[in-house]
């Protein structure tokens, strides 16, 4: 009978309530137990168990080796044991079959990666994080390769766990650390050294074994979802159970109802200090422990992140029937109410934004809008469109109809159905012919800049006194002039429109002041001599100063001008002025000023690497870190992160600060800076992707796509990057950045002929000489790679107008074979700012042999 071992072990059986009581009784603040997770904990997250994989592999390998047809699992196992005892071990089928199926560690890694890819943690992991948050646990050991635990912490906790996924990293983890600790005994799928073959699981590596032993002196162990098939771990447990000073809090082995107790497990359970607990499953156990211990499911902060939303939706959908558990059922009811409340809150915020919405929203239409927004959130676009058409047809309320039309226009734009989007835009404008916002929204649908310009010109005739139309037309015209000659629009026309706008409203709230600043920069972007540009910029700055030298518009443009000048005296003058204004400003304004001060101090670091400047930077950081309500903005955190990496070579601290910036105000304006730091360590690719997905709804599509390219390039997925770049081009993305990104990506993909062709075809379209320099550098590098004669004259010209200094000149030196001068610039740049080392690693123009001596061996790595 299958239950004979259980009957014999009844005296060893404990309840979940018993287990909760043992966990609750802590010595001081330190937990008494560590959790040990096996594959069973990942089942409801959609990852196959070892048992399921064994069934597949056994049949597949039997069919390959045996002349007989497959009949049943037992017969196949008997045949393999009898005919292939040299490699097949019936008592350790998983490892022996895995080793037979995949010869190499890299093959196993790829297989595991496919198994865990895009899997989301089940609700049990959310409960587990809650137990860590409540300080009932601080360590989890696992034989699993997936990243579900780490993912759950990232989504549901402000704590960032210490993750040890390979033997060399485990040595540095301290039992005294208060941070959550995740120790992967068999590695991680991100490493080729994952352990799953028979030989590999026979023994734990030394550091891992020592750490398991060390933790067992202070902790008892609670095993969940673990079959106990790893001899190396079982042998360590047997040894520790014999030692009086180890496992003093015992071992509690959680076994699912209906699962067999293996002979090896039976022996272990018969030992002193070992007990077993019957459970329904991992999720149910975690839920019950949370409630027995007086905690509750909080899920961290507000449920706003895209991936977190998917996870919550998975919890609510409950494909595994977990609501049979009374605790999970109760929490899911709360979750449904909470997500519904969040949707209502978002809709109320939207409806309250418009000053024109004087009338109340009828209850039925409010429900309809909520229903549509929910369909869109769940990506059920076809049903959303169908329902919107019905609502539009049935509604006689122009105010409500406009809400429906705005949503269907958005759907059509996302589906790239521009024709239909424009048709619905016509209907929106027909509702209220002189509603300026509706009329301006059509500009976002028109695909070409020339079409946008013509439309806004026509709109200006209709709304001749509208500042918004004039300012929007200027912005679009500036985008057009980035890479087009002054044919359909000129800089003079832009300046005339700006003056009209400022004549109507010369307050510093008018964005025309900033547009004029940008126009001057663009007009003179092709000039090496910046004298005339400087005169115009300071004439503009003085006008603004005369109106109000403490206004944000002045502070913004003053700091931008000072940074452009790259003169220490001007930067110090600007810093002094901003600090004076800061002292008498509101908290919100202080945050803006701190952002400008951060940019100024960043520029200061690029100008000189003297001790005086470093002292000033340290004083700046210490002074403004004191008020956390102001200093918690992403730009300030990222400045400190870059300083830690650039000046102190503390990579780990820099990355940790970048992770904090992910959850900080103004993160959306600093995506590139966050990614550039996170991607120093390739293990942060997943975090970077999740961060980008989480903010995708809150940023312009081109910003999202640009960041997506950055991540894909870090993964060497260049073909995917190129497809996204083409999509960006069709969406009228900044042309110079598009060409630069495309050329760089092709260069990294070693498509050298295409690089040469694209640069030759587009070089004259760019106005900024610095952007032209970069394209020439990349083209000449591509030539050198395929043995074509380089244009030495153009490279020497670049070196000359860069005064033989800087990153671009350095690349030109290396392409010319002038290693002495190239290395001199390389050394200066990296010694001035160690962040440059990580940037240069991505530059194909710099020979890797010269970078290797600056590797992070002397730095504090993550």
pLDDT tens figures, 335-368 = 665 555 555 445 455 555 544 444 456 667 777 8
Mean pLDDT of the chain, nearest integer:
86
Regarding predicted confidence, which is higher, 780 or 215? Answer: 780
In a domain, 581, yes or no: no
Q: Which of 116-120, 461-465, 470-474, 552-556 has the lowest mean pLDDT?
A: 116-120
In this predicted structure, what is the pLDDT of residue 355?
Answer: 44
- Same-domain check for residues 20 and 140: yes
- Same-domain check for residues 169 and 264: yes
Give the Å distances, CA to CA, from 765 to 104, 735, 769, 776, 794: 51, 9, 11, 13, 17
Arithmetic mean of pLDDT, 302-306 = 45
- Same-domain check for residues 721 and 682: no
Q: Does the structure show a pLDDT above 80 at 178?
A: no
In a domain, 142, yes or no: yes
Number of H helices, E strands in the chain: 45, 8
* Cα end-to-end span (Å), the chain: 53
pTM metric for this prediction: 0.64
In a domain, 364, yes or no: no
In this predicted structure, what is the pLDDT of residue 188?
Answer: 42
- Same-domain check for residues 93 and 183: no
Q: Does the structure show a pLDDT above 90 at 811?
A: yes
With bands split at pLDDT 50, 70 and 90, how would you rate the model's confidence at 758? very high
User: In this structure, are residues 784 and 791 in contact, taking their beta carbons and an 8 Å threshold?
Assistant: no
With bands split at pLDDT 50, 70 and 90, how would you rate the model's confidence at 595? very high
The domain boundary, picked from 648, 669, 699, lies at 699
Angle between helices 718-730 and 735-748 (to 10 degrees): 160
In this predicted structure, what is the pLDDT of residue 190?
Answer: 38
- Same-domain check for residues 838 and 816: yes
Can you give the residue range of the structural domain that contains 224?
4-47+122-300
In this predicted structure, what is the pLDDT of residue 111?
Answer: 82
With bands split at pLDDT 50, 70 and 90, how would you rate the model's confidence at 1? very low
Q: Residue 414, Cβ neighbours under 10 Å: how many?
A: 12
Count of residues in the chain: 862
What CATH code is carried by the domain that includes residue 246? 3.40.50.1220
Q: Does the structure show a pLDDT above 80 at 255?
A: yes
pLDDT (tens digit per residue) in 198-209: 444 444 556 667
In a domain, 143, yes or no: yes
In this predicted structure, what is the pLDDT of residue 846?
Answer: 94
In this predicted structure, what is the pLDDT of residue 171?
Answer: 56
Count: domains in the chain: 4
Q: Does the structure show a pLDDT above 80 at 548?
A: yes
- Same-domain check for residues 68 and 209: no
The domain boundary, picked from 77, 93, 115, lies at 115
Q: Which of 14-23, 223-232, 261-270, 656-665 has the lowest mean pLDDT?
A: 223-232
How many whole angstroms separate alpha carbon 618 and alpha carbon 601? 10
Q: Which pair of structure tokens corresponds to residue 210?
A: 């020592």
How many whole angstroms separate alpha carbon 373 and alpha carbon 232? 53
In this predicted structure, what is the pLDDT of residue 198?
Answer: 43
Q: Which of 57-71, 229-243, 660-674 has the lowest mean pLDDT?
A: 229-243
- Same-domain check for residues 109 and 237: no
Q: Does the structure show a pLDDT above 60 at 271?
A: yes
In this predicted structure, what is the pLDDT of residue 437?
Answer: 92
How many whole angstroms separate alpha carbon 373 and alpha carbon 721? 31
With bands split at pLDDT 50, 70 and 90, how would you rate the model's confidence at 821? very high
pLDDT (tens digit per residue) in 392-402: 888 888 888 99
In this predicted structure, what is the pLDDT of residue 361?
Answer: 63
In this predicted structure, what is the pLDDT of residue 189?
Answer: 35
pLDDT (tens digit per residue) in 12-24: 999 999 999 999 9
Nearest to 839 by CA among 676, 686, 704: 676
- Per residue, the 3-state secondary structure of 257-287, as one string, reads CCCCCCHHHHHHHCCCCEEEEEECCHHHHHH
The domain boundary, picked from 243, 267, 300, lies at 300
DSSP state of 566: T
Arithmetic mean of pLDDT, 113-119 = 75
Give the Å distances, CA to CA, from 656 to 314, 631, 674: 29, 16, 11
- Same-domain check for residues 800 and 695: no
What CATH code is carried by the domain that includes residue 769? 1.25.40
- Same-domain check for residues 288 and 142: yes
- Same-domain check for residues 186 and 264: yes
In a domain, 627, yes or no: no
- Enumerate residues 6+ apart whose C-beta is below 8 A from 570: 561, 562
Bridge partner list, 277: 14, 254
Q: Does the structure show a pLDDT above 60 at 26?
A: yes
In this predicted structure, what is the pLDDT of residue 336?
Answer: 63
In a domain, 323, yes or no: no
- Same-domain check for residues 88 and 205: no
Give the Å distances, CA to CA, from 655 to 155, 349, 639, 778, 834: 18, 35, 12, 30, 14
Arithmetic mean of pLDDT, 406-411 = 92
Q: Which pair of structure tokens corresponds to residue 390?
A: 């019905």
Arithmetic mean of pLDDT, 459-488 = 91
The proportion of the chain whose per-residue pLDDT surpasses 70, expressed as a percent, equals 89
Q: Which of 80-89, 100-109, 269-278, 664-673 has the lowest mean pLDDT?
A: 100-109
In a domain, 517, yes or no: no
Q: What angle do CA 718, 715, 825 make, to 5 degrees?
A: 85
In this predicted structure, what is the pLDDT of residue 213?
Answer: 85
In this predicted structure, what is the pLDDT of residue 170?
Answer: 53
- Same-domain check for residues 245 and 175: yes
Nearest to 681 by CA among 423, 860, 414, 818: 860
Dihedral sign for Cα atoms in the order 745, 747, 751, 755:
positive
């Amino acid at each position: 009978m299958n239950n004979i071992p259980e009957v014999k072990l009844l005296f060893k059986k404990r309840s979940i309530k018993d287990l909760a009581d043992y966990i609750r009784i802590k010595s001081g603040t330190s937990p008494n137990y560590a959790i040990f997770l096996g594959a069973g904990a990942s089942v409801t997250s959609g990852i196959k168990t070892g048992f399921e994989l064994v069934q597949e592999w056994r049949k597949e390998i039997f069919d390959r080796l045996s002349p007989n047809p497959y009949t049943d699992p037992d017969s196949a196992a008997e045949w393999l044991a009898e005919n292939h005892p040299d490699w097949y071990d019936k008592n350790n089928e998983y490892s022996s079959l895995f080793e037979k199926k995949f010869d190499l560690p890299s093959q196993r890694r790829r297989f595991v990666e496919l198994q865990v890819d895009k899997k989301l943690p089940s609700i049990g992991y959310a409960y587990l994080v809650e137990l860590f948050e409540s300080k009932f646990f601080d360590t989890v050991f696992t034989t699993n390769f997936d990243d579900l635990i780490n993912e759950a912490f990232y989504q549901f906790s402000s704590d960032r766990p210490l993750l040890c996924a390979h033997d060399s990293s485990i040595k540095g983890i301290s039992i005294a650390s208060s941070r959550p600790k995740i120790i992967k005994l068999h590695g991680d799928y991100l490493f080729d050294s994952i352990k799953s073959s028979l030989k590999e699981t026979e023994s734990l590596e030394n550091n891992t074994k020592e750490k398991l032993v060390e933790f067992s002196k202070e902790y008892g162990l609670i095993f969940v979802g673990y079959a106990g098939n790893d001899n190396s771990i079982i042998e360590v447990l047997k040894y520790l159970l014999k030692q009086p000073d180890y496992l003093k809090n015992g071992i509690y082995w959680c076994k699912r109802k209906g699962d067999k107790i293996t002979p090896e497990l039976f022996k272990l359970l018969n030992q002193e200090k070992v007990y077993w607990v019957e459970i329904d499953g991992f999720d149910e156990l975690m839920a019950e422990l949370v409630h027995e211990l007086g905690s509750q499911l909080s899920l961290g902060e507000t449920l706003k992140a895209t991936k977190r939303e998917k996870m919550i939706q998975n919890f609510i959908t409950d494909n595994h029937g977990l609501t049979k558990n009374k605790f999970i059922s109760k929490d899911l009811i709360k979750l449904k109410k909470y997500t519904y409340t969040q949707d209502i809150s978002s809709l109320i915020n939207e409806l309250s934004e418009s000053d024109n919405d004087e009338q109340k929203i009828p209850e039925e239409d409010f429900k309809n809008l909520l229903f549509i927004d929910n369909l869109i959130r769940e990506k059920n676009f076809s049903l959303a469109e169908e329902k919107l058409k019905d609502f539009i047809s049935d509604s006689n309320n122009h105010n409500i109809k406009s809400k429906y039309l705005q949503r269907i226009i958005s759907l059509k734009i996302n589906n790239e159905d521009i024709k239909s989007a424009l048709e619905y835009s016509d209907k929106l404008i027909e509702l209220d012919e002189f509603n300026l916002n509706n009329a301006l929204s059509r500009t976002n649908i028109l695909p070409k800049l020339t079409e946008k310009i013509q439309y806004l010109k026509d709109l200006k005739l209709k709304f001749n006194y509208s500042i918004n139309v004039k300012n929007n037309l200027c912005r679009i015209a500036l985008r057009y002039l980035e890479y087009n000659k002054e044919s359909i629009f000129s800089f003079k026309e832009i300046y005339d429109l700006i003056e009209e706008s400022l004549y109507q409203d010369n307050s510093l709230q008018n964005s025309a002041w900033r547009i004029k600043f940008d126009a001057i920069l663009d007009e003179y972007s092709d000039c090496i001599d910046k004298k005339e540009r400087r005169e115009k910029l300071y004439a503009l700055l003085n006008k603004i100063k005369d109106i109000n030298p403490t206004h944000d518009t002045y502070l913004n443009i003053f700091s931008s001008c000072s940074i452009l000048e790259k003169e220490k005296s001007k930067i110090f003058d600007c810093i002094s002025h901003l600090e004076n204004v800061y002292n008498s400003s509101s908290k919100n304004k202080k945050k803006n000023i701190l952002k400008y001060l951060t940019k100024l101090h960043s520029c200061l670091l690029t100008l000189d690497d003297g001790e005086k400047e470093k002292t000033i930077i340290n004083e700046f950081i210490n002074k403004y870190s004191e008020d956390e309500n102001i200093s918690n903005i992403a730009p300030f955190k990222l400045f400190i992160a870059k300083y830690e990496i650039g000046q102190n070579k503390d990579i780990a601290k820099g990355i940790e600060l970048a992770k904090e910036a992910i959850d900080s105000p103004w993160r959306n304006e600093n995506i590139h800076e966050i990614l550039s730091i996170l991607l120093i360590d390739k293990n942060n690719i997943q975090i970077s992707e999740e961060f980008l997905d989480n903010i995708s709804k809150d940023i312009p599509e081109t910003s999202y796509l640009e960041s997506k390219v950055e991540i894909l390039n870090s993964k060497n997925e260049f073909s995917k990057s190129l497809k996204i770049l083409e999509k960006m081009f069709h969406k009228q993305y900044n042309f110079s950045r598009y060409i630069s990104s495309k050329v760089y990506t092709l260069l990294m993909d070693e498509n050298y002929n295409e690089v040469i062709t694209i640069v030759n075809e587009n070089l004259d379209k760019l106005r900024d000489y610095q952007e032209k320099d970069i394209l020439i550098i990349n083209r000449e590098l591509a030539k050198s790679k395929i043995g074509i004669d380089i244009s030495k004259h153009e490279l020497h010209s670049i070196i000359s107008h860069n005064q033989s200094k800087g990153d671009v000149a350095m690349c030109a030196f290396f392409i010319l074979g002038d290693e002495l001068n190239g290395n001199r610039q390389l050394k200066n740049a990296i010694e001035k700012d160690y962040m440059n080392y990580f940037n240069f690693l991505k530059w194909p123009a710099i020979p890797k042999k010269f970078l290797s001596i600056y590797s992070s061996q002397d730095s504090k790595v993550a």
